Structures are given as C-alpha cells and as structure tokens.
C-alpha cells in the first residue's frame, strides 16, 4: 500500500500519496488551496460539498462511495446531504468531524453549523447565528457581524438618512432628538460609529460626516435573519407612529380582501412595482428635509380554505 503524507490545510491535514502531492504542486494548490476556512461558512453542507469538490479535483477517483464507506452510511444519503436535501443525524456529527480532520475548535464550530442548519424557527436561527458570529478570528466574519448589527435597530437606517439631509459633526444631542421617536445620545453615537465601520459615512477634512456610495448588502447566508429582525423593528415603529405622529405627517391605510394564489402573486408584483416607484421618487427629490420609513405588507389572516363545506362535529 502506498504511504500517504500530510499536506497541512486550512481545515487540518489532508493525507495524500506522493502522486497526489505532485498534482497539487503541478496546479500550485498547496499554497493557494481553494477550500476556504470553515469559519467563513454558515452552511455545513456547503462546507462538506466544497471539501468533496476539492478532494475530487485532487483525485478524480474520489467519490461519494468513498465518503460513505469512511463515515458508515449509504452513499445515496451522502449525495442528498451534499445537495442540501438531508441533514446529518446527531450521532453522525462526530463521525463527520473526524473524517474532515477538524481541530477541536473547528469541530465546535461544525457542531454549531449543524445545529444552526436544523433550527426550525427564526428565533432559534437568530440565536445560533449570533453564536456563529462569535467565532470572529477572521475579517470575513467580522464584516458579516457588523453588517448584521446594522439591521438590528431601526434608527441605524434612520440616522443614515438624516446624515444625507444635513452635515453632521459631533452634536449628538441634536441627532438623538431629530430621530423620531427620539433616542439617547449613547444610541446616536453607537449608530454613527457603526456607519463609519461599514464605510457608509466618512469624515471630511473639517470632521463632518458625509455619506458614501457604500450600501450594506445582505449575503445569502444571513439575509433572512437580518432582514426579519429589521422588519419586526419597522413594524413596531409603524404601530407607535399611529399614536405619536400627527395624521397630516403620516399615511396609514389597511384593506382586507379575499384572494386566491394568483391574486396573492399579483398583489406581490404590484407591491414590488410600488417599491421601485417610491425609490425613484426619493431619488428625484432635490431639497430633502426629513427621513421616512415606508412599510408595505401583505399577509394572510386565515388558513387556505378548501371547496368542501364546513363539517360539524
């Protein structure tokens, strides 16, 4: 049997034959290996998939059946796991961490990835996602953590819009009172620091904050969690506005309707068109003097009702 030697990899040692090592050297892959650090992943199944693809590139004979034999499950299940169709069972997590050659800390992160991937509701996903963000050894995770924070408080976006209206230097009392409902000076300072870290504002030579063209983009790994948190904050703010904002400064209207699936989709399309129109209106405004929040909502207030008449018990 050909003896295998280790190549030290970001996720741990990969044991290769001399011939496989020559393939790595031929492709220049030892120093610039394509598999990213495990800490950049939020989906454990994508990590396993990338691990498989990396090994496959090194050795064309590497297969799902080989992985299945090493971890002791059917190769068809391996395929479904890698494709994101099935989850690893709890008892198999340690088997996979051993097979992947992870360090103790990397195993801890992998276990958390599995738990996060299996979370059933948004509160659990938010909780475990924030635990994943705690593994912040690398710049990629620190960037995600800051962007994620941007969506946790409604007044972060409000302050960004306020700074688009009037030059601001250090009068945090004014800034805190300009936000409506007003916030504390501490919260205003925290918001400005966050916008600076995100590169959404910068200071000119005189120390005034200026907006940049930098926008926060929600990556696919954490988009739903971050946006849901912000949407909940925005809905609470709308509820408060009914009592706190004079009627001539707001517009709140509701309508209850009966729809089928096609009707729901058409309303969604109409709302999407309205969102675009609102953005165009905002872009065309020249002398802006206030920051506003516009919420568009559509949600069911009943379950789907079939054609059968009501049955009495």
Q: What is the 3-state secondary structure (H, E, C) of 180-222?
A: CCCCCHHHHHHHHHHHHHCCCEEECCCCCEEECCCCCCCCCCC
Whether the Cβ atoms of residue 58 and residue 20 lie closer than 8 Å to each other: yes
In a domain, 36, yes or no: yes
Q: What is the pLDDT of residues 290-307, one digit of tens each?
A: 888 898 999 887 777 666
Torsion angle of C-alpha atoms 103, 106, 112, 114, degrees rounded to 10: -80
Structure tokens at 151: 């969506």
**So what's the pLDDT on residue 200?**
84
The answer to whether position 294 is within a domain reads no
8 Å CB contact between 45 and 84: yes
Output the CA torsion sign for 298, 120, 130, 222: negative
In a domain, 143, yes or no: no
Q: What is the per-residue pLDDT for 37?
A: 81
* In a shared domain, residues 153 and 260: yes
- State pLDDT tens for residues 203-257: 988 999 988 865 554 444 545 666 677 778 888 888 888 888 899 999 988 888 7
Q: Are residues 191 and 235 in the same domain?
A: yes
The verdict on 112 and 155 lying in the same domain is no
12 beta partners: 9
The answer to whether residues 81 and 155 belong to one domain is no
Q: What dihedral do alpha carbons 213, 142, 129, 224 form, nearest 10°?
A: 10
Q: Tens of pLDDT along 133-167?
A: 766 544 344 445 667 777 778 888 889 888 888 88
Q: Note whether 248 and 157 are same-domain residues.
A: yes
Q: Write the burial class of residue 53 (CB in 10 Å: 0-12 exposed, 13-18 middle, 19+ buried).
A: middle
What's the mean pLDDT in 30-43? Answer: 67
Class of residue 160 by CB neighbours under 10 A (exposed 0-12, middle 13-18, buried 19+) = buried
CB 133 within 8 A of CB 152: no
Does residue 92 sit in the same domain as residue 157? no
Residue 283 inside a domain? The answer is: no
pTM, 2 dp: 0.46
Asked if residue 109 and residue 155 are part of one domain, the reply reads no
Answer yes or no: is pLDDT of 11 > 80. Answer: no
Decide if 92 is inside a domain: yes
Residue positions counted in the chain: 313
Query: Any idea what the CATH number is for the domain that residue 259 is in?
Result: 1.10.10
Neighbour tally for 181: CB within 10 Å: 12
| CATH code at position 54 | 1.10.260
Same domain, 188 and 114: no
Residues 77 and 166 in one domain: no
Q: What is the mean pLDDT of the chain?
A: 79
Answer yes or no: do 182 and 90 share one domain.
no
Q: Cα separation of 15 and 141, whole Å?
A: 28
Domain end call among 118, 134, 168: 118
Domain C-terminal end among 76, 101, 118: 118
Q: Phi/psi at 289 (nearest 5 deg)?
A: -140, 10
Q: Do 183 and 105 sit in the same domain of this protein?
A: no
> Distances in Å between the alpha carbon of 192 and those of 151, 195, 200?
14, 5, 10
Distance, CA of 83 to CA of 153 (rounded, Å): 35
Q: Looking at the 3D structure of the chain, how many domains does it have?
A: 2
DSSP state letters, 106-125: HHHHHHHHHHHHH--SHHHH
Same domain, 162 and 110: no
Average pLDDT over residues 260-271: 92
Q: Report how far apart the first and last C-alpha atoms of the chain are (Å, whole number).
A: 72
Residue 65 placed within a domain: yes
Whole domain around residue 205: which residue ranges? 149-264
């Amino acid at each position: 049997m050909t003896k295998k030697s280790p190549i030290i990899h970001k996720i741990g040692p990969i044991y290769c034959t001399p011939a496989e090592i020559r393939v790595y050297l031929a492709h220049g892959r030892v120093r610039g290996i394509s598999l990213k650090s495990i800490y950049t992943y939020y989906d454990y199944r994508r990590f396993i998939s990338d691990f498989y693809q990396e090994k496959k590139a090194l050795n064309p004979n590497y297969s799902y059946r080989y992985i299945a034999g090493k971890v002791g499950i059917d190769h068809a299940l391996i395929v479904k796991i890698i494709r994101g169709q099935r989850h690893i069972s709890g008892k198999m997590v340690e088997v996979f961490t051993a097979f992947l050659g992870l360090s103790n800390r990397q195993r801890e992160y992998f276990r958390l990835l599995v738990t996060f991937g299996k979370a059933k509701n948004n509160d659990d996903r938010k909780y475990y996602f924030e635990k994943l963000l705690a593994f912040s050894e690398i710049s990629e995770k620190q960037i995600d953590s800051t962007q994620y924070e941007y969506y946790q408080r409604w007044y972060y976006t409000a302050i960004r819009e306020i700074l688009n209206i009037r030059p601001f230097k250090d009068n945090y009392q004014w800034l805190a009172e300009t936000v409506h409902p007003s916030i504390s000076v501490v919260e205003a300072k925290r918001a400005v620091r966050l916008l600076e870290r995100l590169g959404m504002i910068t200071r000119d030579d005189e120390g005034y904050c200026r907006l940049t063209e930098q926008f926060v983009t929600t990556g696919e790994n954490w988009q739903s969690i971050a946006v849901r948190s912000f949407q909940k904050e925005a809905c609470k703010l709308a509820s408060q506005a009914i009592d706190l904002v004079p009627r001539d400064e707001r517009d709140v209207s509701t309508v209850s309707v009966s729809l089928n699936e096609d009707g729901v989709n058409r309303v969604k399309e109409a709302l999407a068109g309205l969102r675009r129109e609102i953005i165009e209106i905002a872009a065309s405004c020249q002398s802006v003097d206030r920051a506003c929040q516009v919420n568009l909502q559509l949600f069911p207030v009943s379950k789907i009702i079939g054609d059968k008449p009501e049955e009495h018990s």
